[in-house]
Amino acid sequence: MNGKVWGGRFREKTDGLVHHFNASIHFDRRLYAEDIDGSIAHVEMLAKQGILSDEETSRIVETLEQIRRDLEHDRIPIDEDYEDIHGLVEKVLIERIGAAGEKLHTGRSRNDQVALDTRLYVRKIVWRFFDLIRDLQHGFVAQAERHADLIMPGYTHMQRAQPVLLAHHLLAYYEMLKRDRERYGECLRRVNRMPLGSAALAGSTFDLDRAMVAESLGFEDICMNSMDAVSDRDFILDFLYASSVLMMHLSRFAEELILWSSQEFGFLTISDAFCTGSSIMPQKKNPDVPELIRGKTGRVYGHLMALLTTMKGLPLSYNKDMQEDKEALFDTVDTLEMCLRVLGQLLSGLSFHGTRMKEATEQGYLVATDLADYLVRRGIPFREAHGIVGKMVLYAMDRHKELKDLRLEEMKDFSNQIEEEVYEWLDCSSTVRRRNLPGGTGPERVMESLQKAKEELAA
Which residues belong to the active site? 157, 278
CB 38 within 8 A of CB 120: yes
Omega cis (within 30) before 24: no
Q: How far is the C-alpha of 38 from the C-alpha of 85, rounded, in Å?
A: 13
Query: Which of 361, 324, 358 shows the shortest CA–CA distance to 22?
Result: 324
The bridge status of strand 221-222 relative to strand 268-269 is unpaired
Spell out where 186-231 has E strands.
193-194, 221-222
d(CA 169, CA 182) in angstroms, rounded, equals 21
What letter does residue 155 receive in the DSSP assignment?
E
DSSP secondary structure code for residue 192 in this structure: -
Closest CA to 47 of 55, 39, 35: 55
Report the chain's terminal Cα–Cα distance, integer Å.
Answer: 59
Integer angstrom CA distances of residue 40 from 63, 213, 323, 446 = 10, 9, 24, 51
Count Cα atoms within 13 angstroms, Cβ side, for 21: 7
CA dihedral 194, 198, 204, 208 (to 10 degrees): 0
Cα–Cα distance for residue pair 151/416, rounded to 1 Å: 32
CA distance 128 to 187: 13
